[in-house]
Structure 1
Amino acid sequence: MRYDYIYTHMTKKTDFIYSEYSEPHRIRTKKILKEHPEVRHLIGRNSNTIFAILGLVAFQVVMAWLVRDQAWWVIVGAAYLLGAFADHSLFVMIHECAHHLIFKNKKLNRWAGMLANMPQIFPSSVSFERYHIKHHSFQGIHELDADLPNRWEAKLINNSFLGKAIWLLFFPLFQVFRISRLKEIQNFDAWIVANVTVQVVFTAAIWYFFGGAAVGYLFLSFMFSVGLHPLGARWIQEHYLTHNEEQETYSYYGRLNTVSFNVGFHNEHHDFPSIPWNRLPKIKQTAPVYYDTLISHKSWTVLFFRFLFDKEISLFSRIVRKDRGKVPLKDQARPDAEIQVEKTTVVA
């Protein structure tokens, strides 16, 4: 019996869980490619994603226009029930652009990301690309993985219901505080300036033509899409240790994948980050033995409330590691496209 395991789960956590092993995805990628080389055919881009971006941006602009003269409770309700889902999907689009999964030209992907970012008020698409790629390359390395909370952040929130509710409510703000920790990552250049400029122009135009209430709708849509909303459980689903201390990445196979562009297929995405959103389910279909044996989530809503009320889940419920391995700082997180699997020869 693991008495140390029981002890840590009955007391308040004071630190993250440290692993001496490398992150699991590159190892699994190599194994799957060796057994199922046909998965390589899924690698590529989906240029049609740009139409989803245009449609979602148009939806948010129309919604902002429709609620411009409505009562505050209508604006809040529209943002929570409709706008949050649109903005969450736009965040997935930004994620696709960060991995350059729409266009072959990297600059076009960045401009597409800025387009998707427009209704979200805050300029984040360029910064997200920069930090998210490092999250893939250095999962669990505290000084390079922006997905990990700051230690003071985890200590402040820990496992209390109120603390976790506040954390979800102000989730974007807590992410901003993490930037100062990631000193090796460049966080300012001409692309950042372009991102900010586009956001200022777009938001100013919405305010000028539709009024402050329309901007308020867009602001609330963004906050709900990543925060105190069942959609916010996605951040818990991906890497928080909700079931054991060995599996550090979880997928979500619930119905909301249909309106969230399969973003729940997170183990699949980490294993094959060069495969676009529409082909992610095919990875699991091709190599089910590697994913059916992993714990997964079926409901973001259930996880949302479990995270809030379960005191055994805290911001310290994350795996961190100190060994970066041999991955260079400029790694572009494309192991599925770069790994060369040795072919085995069968002798008759």
Structure 2
Amino acid sequence: MGIFRYSDGVLPNTLAFTYAIGGYLLGFWLIAKPDLWLNLPGVLLLGHSMVIAAYLLHECAHNTVFRDNAVNARVGSLMNWLTGSSYNSYEILRRKHFRHHVDRADVVAFDFRPQLARYPRFVKLIEALEWAYIPAADLFMHAMSLVVPFVLPSRRPERARVLWVLAVRASVFALIAWHAPRVLLFYPLAWMLMLHVLRFMDAYQHTFTLFDTLEQGSAANPTKYDAAYEFRNTFTNIQSVKYPWLNLVTLNFGYHNAHHEKPAEPWHRLPALHAQLYGDHCSQILPFFNLLSAYHRYRTQRLLNADPDDLDVLSDQGKTFIGVDGVSFLTGH
């Protein structure tokens, strides 16, 4: 029967995993070399290999890669380590993401926006970093992964994991830095590149209501948050309509309406599913360059923004779409 869930997924998944793992190792080797002309391509390769690893983690969470769900969990956990988000267990990330699909909402353990707003000087610092294209909001959310188990009683069992993952990663990076100190500069650059790509995609895929009820039951009203609500508050932000192969840069994650319509459909089938569902006239497509411009223009305003649901972003094709930070599937809170 084979290890993969779908026969037509053998080649694309093999290529994707080869690129994610091979690119990660080769990228690390390049950023450790003493030549700048190798370091810079290494940053790009390492950053993008982590992007693909993140989306493969997402696929494993949906059990679309391997026939055995336990294998999906093990491989998803490996991808979790590659992306640097392993302070959160794979199961916590998976549980949070499934709440997003089931509740048809952005569900978090806490909403950082009102908390940050209480400290205007700290907000100004983060805004200054964001202005300089340092993804401070995401860095803050990932840093909170180290803190949340020591604050939320429900996350107490995760404390030991946080400490041993921190010890392992710190030890490994200390050894690498001792051999090649420049890694201390180039790895963070690659990781921030990954953060920018992931949050660019996340910021513009929904205008969902945000609930800070991850540690409780669902707060979503199923009458309001129905399939029609899900469709009109979900957007397809592919890189290109004309050249579909460009969408492999984010492993077809931009076909987001199709993904929400059929979450169990594997990434390599999403273009065909999109065509089947919407043909050549999907009302929810937002042009890539409009969103790229908005991502640049609203990079500081986005920090404390929370778009209301049913926000009209289609009338100007996303040109004034501020978007939302802090809803990454790589943070479990």
* CA pair 193-145 structure 1, distance change in 2 beyond 3 A: closer
CA offsets, 1:143-199, max 9 Å, x none? x436965432477659x9647547961243332438859969757469957993996
* CA pair 161-196 structure 1, distance change in 2 beyond 3 A: closer
Q: Distance in 1 between matches of 2:26 and 2:113?
A: 38
Which residue pairs with 1:285 in the alignment?
275
Of the candidates 149, 165, 190, which is equivalent to residue 221 of structure 1? 190
Aligned residues: 268
* CA pair 317-305 structure 1, distance change in 2 beyond 3 A: same
Of the candidates 295, 312, 317, which is equivalent to residue 306 of structure 2? 317
Letter in 1 for 2:298: F
Q: Distance in 1 between matches of 2:84 and 2:256?
A: 26
In percent, how many aligned pairs have the same letter?
19
Higher relative contact order (CA 8 A, sep 6+): 1
* CA pair 198-269 structure 1, distance change in 2 beyond 3 A: farther
Letter in 2 for 1:85: H
Alignment of 1:83-162 (within 5 A): 83-123=46-86, 124=88, 126=90, 127-140=92-105, 144-145=107-108, 149-153=112-116, 162=128
- Contact 1:251-1:264 within 8 A present in 2 as well: yes
Q: Distance in 2 between matches of 1:136 and 1:147?
A: 18
Q: Distance in 2 between matches of 1:172 and 1:187?
A: 23
Which residue pairs with 1:305 in the alignment?
296
Q: Distance in 2 between matches of 1:320 and 1:147?
A: 19
Which residue pairs with 1:62 in the alignment?
26
Which residue pairs with 1:253 in the alignment?
238
Q: Once the 2 structures are TM-superposed, how far is the Cα of residue 286 of structure 1 from its aligned partner? A: 0.9
- Contact 1:169-1:223 within 8 A present in 2 as well: yes
- Contact 1:140-1:148 within 8 A present in 2 as well: no
Q: Which has the larger radius of gyration?
A: 1
* CA pair 240-315 structure 1, distance change in 2 beyond 3 A: farther
Structure 1 residue matching 2:250: 3-state secondary structure: coil
- Contact 1:94-1:117 within 8 A present in 2 as well: yes
| TM-score, normalised with respect to structure 2 | 0.62
Q: Distance in 1 between matches of 2:7 and 2:176?
A: 39
* CA pair 237-307 structure 1, distance change in 2 beyond 3 A: same
Which residue pairs with 1:34 in the alignment?
none
Q: Once the 2 structures are TM-superposed, how far is the Cα of residue 278 of structure 1 from its aligned partner? A: 0.8
Letter in 2 for 1:264: G
- Contact 1:237-1:297 within 8 A present in 2 as well: no
- Contact 1:90-1:116 within 8 A present in 2 as well: yes
Which residue pairs with 1:329 in the alignment?
none
* CA pair 95-203 structure 1, distance change in 2 beyond 3 A: farther
Of the candidates 281, 284, 288, which is equivalent to residue 294 of structure 1? 284
- Contact 2:131-2:299 within 8 A present in 1 as well: yes
- Contact 1:45-1:103 within 8 A present in 2 as well: no
- Contact 2:9-2:65 within 8 A present in 1 as well: yes
- Contact 2:31-2:43 within 8 A present in 1 as well: no
Which residue pairs with 2:180 in the alignment?
211
Structure 2 residue matching 1:287: 3-state secondary structure: helix
Letter in 1 for 2:305: F
Runs of 5+ in structure 1 lacking a partner? 1-41, 322-348
Q: Distance in 1 between matches of 2:281 and 2:21?
A: 34
Letter in 1 for 2:140: F
Q: Once the 2 structures are TM-superposed, how far is the Cα of residue 68 of structure 1 from its aligned partner? A: 1.1
Runs of 5+ in structure 2 lacking a partner? 209-230, 241-245, 311-333
- Contact 2:238-2:253 within 8 A present in 1 as well: no
Q: Report the RMSD for the aligned CA atoms in angstroms.
A: 4.5
* CA pair 218-164 structure 1, distance change in 2 beyond 3 A: closer
